[in-house]
Structure 1
Amino acid sequence: MALWLLVGSVLVLVVVGMALFVQTREQILVHTHGEALALSRAAADRIEARLGRVAASTRLLAAIAASDTRDAEGLLRTSLRADPDLAGLAIAPLPHRTRSPAPFVSRQDDGSVQERDLAGDLVHYWDQYWFLGGLACDTGCWQRPFHSRSRQRLLVNYSVAIRRGGQAVGVVNADVTLEWLQRILETLRKPAGAYTFVLGSDGRYLAHDQTALVGQAGAPALLQAMARQDGAPVRLAQAADGPVWIYPSPIKGTFWSLGLVMPEAQIYADVRILFLSGMALGLFALIGIALITLTIIRRTLAPLGVLVHRAEHVARGELDFDLPATGRRDEIGRLTGAFDQMRHQLAEHLRQLTEATREQQRLASELEIAHQIQTALLPKEHYLDAHCPNFELHAALRPARAVGGDLYSYFMLDERRFYLLVGDVSDKGIPAALFMARTITLAKALAPRSHTPQELLRLLNQELCRNNDGCMFVTLLCGVLDTIDGTLVLASAGHEPPVLCDGESVRLLEFETGAAVGLDEEAVYPAHEIVLRPGDTLLLYTDGITEAADGTQAMFGTQRLLDSLLAPPLPSSAAGYTSRLLADVDRFVDGASQADDITVLALSWLHQESRRPDPVLTMALRNTVPDVFEAIARCDRALDRAGVSESLRSDVQLVLEEMMVNIVEHGYPDRREGTIGVRMQLTDDGIVVELHSDGVPFDPTGAPPPALTGDLADQDAVGGLGIHLVRSMVREMDYSHDAGGNHLRLHFPNEQDVTIA
């Protein structure tokens, strides 16, 4: 422990020291930049001041020469004596046919002034670069430095054009010595190891702390660094003495620049020494702390050996042992007591854990049984009726837990109407599974009484609202398919809109829905009717599809659902649609846990040729008694032509008379005009007659059986003896009411002597 404490402390010391070292380096570098730039700028200002005096004197001479040149030599001598930085002055006019003098005065080494006429030189001054360049310098310009052979020194020219009448007629040229540049650099108070220089426009040193370099060209990297005009420090890593910092300062009015060079090692020298000293002292201190810690730890932790030995017993599951008594009141004594208490609590916890494990196994077994029971409530995944090959159905359900709240169901109500349902219970787990089982059971029980999806939802809603203290509800999509012509009537109780795939497009069937089943006893459910065409597939699903989420909580959504169903190649069966959609959902979630139950049901309309017989008779009549008897006569003639026996025709005639007269009398109490529709069809097991009327709701099947004791039943009361006789003569009698009116279905059984053509 002491060793690791020492190692850890050293690491902390090194990290903190390095961070402090880096921060100190940055602060020293910033401080150095500020002082060096100030020193460089101050030196540049001194040079600019001296050059500015020369430039002012020369421009003044040019102005005077432009107006009067009678005493040019005297003017030049006076100006030369007034400025010690001037080595020579000349007034050089443009050459003419008549020779014009070009006076030139220069300062000798002994301080005397010498005069001569430049026009008499063997080398024509008007061909020199200082003259040609000076003609273009209206406000003055500095020329390139040059080495004078006659005076054996480095000079630089400052030239100003003499202008008369807007034309350049000559040049005033000043020769300036550069020895004073060297003296300025020597008088600067530079940090140790630093040096300064002045670069000319041609990249050569005009002055340098190392005088041997004056006149030589600077290194390319140095020239590139000095070319910057923002005056910011530049780090030069490839210098001869290692990395250096350069602080350039352009000299205004010239193409010169002054540079201050600071070796980087010199900047950080004091910081490095301070850092190493601090690290050494810190290391010695840590070694001392580690020795003290080692001594204390050895004395304090010796009793822990006993606890370690007993802990090994606990690791092997041996909890029946004793700990030696200890009178210590420090952490070791408290740890011993806590360890002994933990041993007893652990034994009790293991006992409880064993019981809990058995309980979980029992609960898992019950959940598995519940899953099997719930699965048994659902019909098979695939449905294809051999007697009615016009459609195919495939469904899939994936509960998020062992049991879930999603549901689907389908069943044939009669030989022509096929029911299908898809729903989602509001809760999850066992409560949702029980509510789902109740919903499916009630739906199958109520379907024969409803005949329409909207009526089934209404009845189912009323039943589920009773004793619903938990306020559970289920969103439900219900449909009734006419297996002969493909007409599908849909009603929704707050459920997801279905998707219609017609082979070329995919679209949502959005229509008005009612409230979820189980919430409002007065809820109504509008119907929506579509006619399926050959190759159409209707997809019903729960929100477990659209709300399936991946690892980033992005949802699958409706658009991805539509894109999945439309992607080529299109599925060729109902099972193909469900399999593709579930596979795309699995790819989207990419292994993320399933949060909600998933259910999908696909209904494909195949439109095979129907082998069912056409109706024997279909007609519409007015709601009057004469029209009723005329319609009954037409029905009898149609049955006679179809070869139905006389006894069965007599039963049909009697029942139709009773039912249709009741419809006229009780379905239209206000005696308004209405229409009664009749559809009669022969089946393998008898005759089916459907009566449709647009009157007020009237259910003849709901009348109680009459009391046949004593006098005959009152024939004027609804449901009297006539209704009782009707019940005894038909096999089935079903009534329903919807937005289309009253619907009564009568099924007459076939007799043994009935022959159907």
Structure 2
Amino acid sequence: MAVRGIASRLALWVLAGTMLVIVTGGLLLFRFMGHQILEQTHRESEALASDGGNRIQQRLDKVTNSAQMLASLIGPRPDDAQSLIHDVMQHNPDLAGLAAAYIPHSTAAATTSGSPFISRRDDGTLLSRDMLQDPSPYWDWPWFRTGLTCIGGCWQQPFFSQSRHRKLVNYSVAILANRQVTGVLNADVTLDWLQGVLSGLNKPPGGEAFVIDQQGIYLASDNPGLIGQQAKDGLLDVFSHPDAKPIREMTTQISRSDDPVWIYHSPIKGTQWQFILAIPESWIYASVQRAFLAALGIGGLALLAMTVLVFVITRRVMNPLGVLTERAEQVARGALDFTLPKVRQHDEIGRLTHAFDRMRLDLAEHLAERTRVAREQQRLTSELEIAQQIQTALLPGAHYLDARCSNFELHAVLQPARTVGGDLYSYFMLHDQRLYIIVGDVSDKGIPAALFMARAITLAKAMAPRAQSPQQLLQLLNEELCRNNDGCMFVSLLCGLLDTISGQLIMASAGHEPPVLWGRDVPRLLEFDTGPALGLDEEATYPVHRLRLRPGDNLLMYTDGITEATDHALQMYGQERMLACLARYAENEDGDPAGYLVTDVESFAAGRSQADDITVLALRWHHAGPGRSASMLDVIIDASMDAVFDMLERCDRELHSAGIDPDVRHDVRLVLEELMVNMVQHGREEPRAGQIGLRLTLSSGAIMVELHHDGQAFDPLQSPPILLTGDIADRDTDGGLGVHLVRAMASDLNYAHDAQGNHLQLRFIYPHKPE
């Protein structure tokens, strides 16, 4: 089907192209031949018009010569006028009448017997009369007055003779005697012979001849209806020119049809008459049109034969393409197991057949490879989806509200740039009602970053109970991530530890973006010292930053996917836009601040593809009230023995008032006494008193104690366990029995040291009393 279509189209194109060439050439030939024929017609018609004018002129010359000769003869011999006129009339049949009209009362009129006038009847006989006897005096007629001025002779206006019932034209010559005008010799000529001259011309079919006088009156015409009518002014203007160029008229009164005509005119010498020949333009080009149509017919037949021949040859040559087309359709349906016809000639079709066969084989191999790759990609996609599910499972929920006392609320958003990413966030509660919050960004993207991120979160959750502060947690994480890190990957991490009872927040940063804090004030960046990213330097240290959250405070932690997001102009979102967005949120505080910020970033990017992972964790501190936990004591004392024991008594009273069992009160007093006495005695090298801060909080089933001393660092948790032998020398070991006592009696003990000194957190669990 395709082969027949190509052959048909090729034949049609050949037909159309050849027809265009033939038609174009024919039109050019028609135009050239038409121009040549028109030129030839001009020459022939101009010659015909000139011949017609000459014939008329010859007939008129006999009249004018006879009239002039007769006028010269009868001028001095008026008595012979009658006989001379009669002789001339007999020998010149073109004359319809001849008269010698003298001026009345002149000498010539007195000498002669009158003004003789001889006319010719229809049967050719002559009739004589004296015009002086006419009822109407001839000397009053225009022809007589005009003839007196025609010294050399002139043709006058045609007129219709009532007596002879025909249209005549007269030629007048003034009669001179002794150089004086004595009368007029007037020769009447019928116009019938003009019609005979026009009829005798060899005019082309449809051609018409005319004769008009100087006034534009038609004297003779092949169209009898025009005789005696006035010609158009435009024609008279053209005929007045000395040259006799052909004129093309679209519509004219001299043409019996509405087709354009060519007009040829020739002046008749001796008169002011014009001979006109009108030739229809359609007759001029008729022969060319017939030749053109004949050529088109012959060319059409030749073209049809050529088209059939081209069609047959094309189908024969392109028949192998039909087979290739069918095989190509099989390839489109996925069938590649077929054979191609044997190549007999190494032309374009032969090379195409070889190329198609190679393509078939290559395509079969390619499809097999694509099938294998598709299976691999499907497996990889499935693994990526599983990896994403695993990664998502490692992360806590996007929203968390403290269920115990409703003191705080968390909102989180994580949008990886790929299926899996390297950003991370996490939060988890320790058993002493402290909350860890973590946001991090791994140096890479994709699967490696996701694995490194999973490792970091897993290690953080595992090491958090051992770490007494974010500083220690970052140090422990850094040591572990530096091990076997051949890929030199690293993670920036911002870690915070929140006391969910008091709102005390301790933060440490490993090369991460500074968090944002707002509440009563406008949003601002918390700029504090930071350590290097985790996984680069095993000896790295991480400074801590402490603050106490006030009711209504919000803390937002984020990754650089927020600040480095770009729009179509490659402008970065930046920290200023982030603070402005959070300021707008702070005005209403409606909904999730993390989602509000991410939505604003997406609107800024305006559909531009995300280049980096985006993670936001927002903490809102409500401080809803004591609820099931209350702060019993929060004081700062001088590091002296008296102040220590006064504080111990005060603590015991508070615990007694709260209904705490005496055994528990005894344990708390004993531990606090051991720790604070050590702070007073061994907390400083120089002999000056420091300060000790104590905060006692009672919660459901536990007593929380926070101790702060601005002395030198000493971590009881890092001291080696004491092997008690019962010997008194046990007291001389580092920490002595006091450290062992503290570890044994406190349910939980956490230690941290920073620029402000030592920080200890202890928890004592006591049983509930029965109702």
Alignment TM-score, normalising by the size of structure 2 = 0.55
Contact 1:449 1:735 in 2 (8 A): no
CA distance in 1 between partners of 2:658 and 2:334 (Å):
90
Contact 1:476 1:493 in 2 (8 A): yes
SS of equivalent to 2:535? coil
CA distance in 1 between partners of 2:15 and 2:422 (Å):
60
2:453 equivalent in structure 1: 436
CA distance in 2 between partners of 1:297 and 1:374 (Å):
67
Change (3 A) 1:545 1:6: farther
1:210 equivalent in structure 2: none
Change (3 A) 1:481 1:732: closer
Of 732, 739, 758, 1:716 maps to 732
Of 565, 568, 576, 1:559 maps to 576
Q: How far is the alpha carbon of 1:630 from its aligned partner?
A: 5.8
1:121 equivalent in structure 2: none
Residue 454 of structure 1 pairs with residue 452 of structure 2: no
2:747 equivalent in structure 1: 731
CA distance in 1 between partners of 2:536 and 2:341 (Å):
68
Change (3 A) 1:656 1:427: same
2:436 equivalent in structure 1: 419
Q: How far is the alpha carbon of 1:406 from its aligned partner?
A: 1.1
Q: How far is the alpha carbon of 1:750 from its aligned partner?
A: 1.1
Contact 1:713 1:721 in 2 (8 A): no
Change (3 A) 1:686 1:566: closer
Contact 2:432 2:748 in 1 (8 A): no
1:478 equivalent in structure 2: 495
Q: How far is the alpha carbon of 1:425 from its aligned partner?
A: 1.2
1:621-700 → structure 2 map (5 Å cutoff): 621-622=638-639, 631-663=647-679, 667-668=683-684, 673-700=689-716
1:233-248 → structure 2 map (5 Å cutoff): none
Of 600, 603, 607, 1:591 maps to 607
Change (3 A) 1:7 1:438: farther
Change (3 A) 1:486 1:661: closer
Residue 378 of structure 1 pairs with residue 395 of structure 2: yes
Q: How far is the alpha carbon of 1:4 from its aligned partner?
A: 11
Cα shift readout 1:497-528 (whole Å, capped 9, x = no counterpart)? 33334477333333433322222233333344
- 1:423 aligned partner, one-letter code: G
1:514 equivalent in structure 2: 531
SS of equivalent to 2:759? strand
Cα shift readout 1:396-448 (whole Å, capped 9, x = no counterpart)? 11111121111112233355543322221111111111111122222223333
Of 504, 517, 520, 1:500 maps to 517
Residue 405 of structure 1 pairs with residue 405 of structure 2: no
Q: How far is the alpha carbon of 1:317 from its aligned partner?
A: 1.5
Residue 344 of structure 1 pairs with residue 364 of structure 2: no
Of 412, 424, 427, 1:395 maps to 412
CA distance in 2 between partners of 1:591 and 1:655 (Å):
61
1:366 equivalent in structure 2: 383
Q: How far is the alpha carbon of 1:634 from its aligned partner?
A: 5.0
- 1:434 aligned partner, one-letter code: L
Q: Which runs of 5+ in 2 are unaligned?
A: 1-5, 19-302
Q: How far is the alpha carbon of 1:456 from its aligned partner?
A: 3.0
- 1:366 aligned partner, one-letter code: E
Contact 1:617 1:635 in 2 (8 A): no
1:600 equivalent in structure 2: 616
Tell me the matched-pair count: 475
Change (3 A) 1:590 1:297: farther
Contact 1:488 1:532 in 2 (8 A): yes
Contact 2:639 2:679 in 1 (8 A): no
Contact 2:510 2:532 in 1 (8 A): yes
SS of equivalent to 1:706? coil
Change (3 A) 1:447 1:666: farther
Change (3 A) 1:360 1:8: farther
Contact 2:426 2:437 in 1 (8 A): yes
Cα shift readout 1:524-581 (whole Å, capped 9, x = no counterpart)? 33344445444333322222222223344343333333333334794434x4323332
SS of equivalent to 2:730? coil
Contact 2:562 2:614 in 1 (8 A): yes
Contact 2:425 2:439 in 1 (8 A): yes
SS of equivalent to 1:715? helix
Contact 1:571 1:577 in 2 (8 A): no
1:747 equivalent in structure 2: 763
Q: Which runs of 5+ in 1 are unaligned?
A: 11-286
SS of equivalent to 1:680? strand
CA distance in 1 between partners of 2:376 and 2:543 (Å):
48
Residue 304 of structure 1 pairs with residue 321 of structure 2: yes
Change (3 A) 1:312 1:699: same
CA distance in 1 between partners of 2:762 and 2:710 (Å):
18
CA distance in 2 between partners of 1:680 and 1:513 (Å):
31
Q: How far is the alpha carbon of 1:728 from its aligned partner?
A: 3.0
CA distance in 2 between partners of 1:9 and 1:517 (Å):
79
Q: How far is the alpha carbon of 1:729 from its aligned partner?
A: 2.4
1:320-339 → structure 2 map (5 Å cutoff): 320-326=337-343, 328-339=345-356
- 2:670 aligned partner, one-letter code: L
Cα shift readout 1:446-497 (whole Å, capped 9, x = no counterpart)? 3334443334333322332222221111222222334445444433322223
SS of equivalent to 2:498? strand
SS of equivalent to 2:338? coil
Q: How far is the alpha carbon of 1:364 from its aligned partner?
A: 1.6
CA distance in 2 between partners of 1:578 and 1:9 (Å):
72
CA distance in 2 between partners of 1:727 and 1:454 (Å):
22
SS of equivalent to 1:304? helix
Residue 706 of structure 1 pairs with residue 710 of structure 2: no
Of 605, 625, 630, 1:613 maps to 630
Change (3 A) 1:402 1:534: same
CA distance in 1 between partners of 2:546 and 2:725 (Å):
49
SS of equivalent to 1:490? strand
SS of equivalent to 2:485? coil
Give me the CA root mean square deviation.
3.9
Q: How far is the alpha carbon of 1:717 from its aligned partner?
A: 0.9
CA distance in 1 between partners of 2:635 and 2:344 (Å):
106
CA distance in 2 between partners of 1:336 and 1:731 (Å):
88
- 2:430 aligned partner, one-letter code: L
Change (3 A) 1:609 1:542: same
CA distance in 1 between partners of 2:506 and 2:586 (Å):
29
CA distance in 1 between partners of 2:684 and 2:17 (Å):
101
Contact 1:706 1:713 in 2 (8 A): no
- 2:602 aligned partner, one-letter code: D
SS of equivalent to 1:615? strand
Contact 1:515 1:523 in 2 (8 A): yes
Change (3 A) 1:364 1:713: farther
- 1:732 aligned partner, one-letter code: D
2:481 equivalent in structure 1: 464
Q: How far is the alpha carbon of 1:363 from its aligned partner?
A: 1.8
Cα shift readout 1:666-711 (whole Å, capped 9, x = no counterpart)? 5445666433333333333233333322232212122333334686
CA distance in 2 between partners of 1:320 and 1:3 (Å):
35
Cα shift readout 1:705-748 (whole Å, capped 9, x = no counterpart)? 33346867722112555534433322112222222222222222
CA distance in 1 between partners of 2:570 and 2:464 (Å):
40
Contact 2:518 2:555 in 1 (8 A): yes
Change (3 A) 1:579 1:749: closer
Q: How far is the alpha carbon of 1:329 from its aligned partner?
A: 4.5
2:199 equivalent in structure 1: none
- Structure label with greater radius of gyration: 2
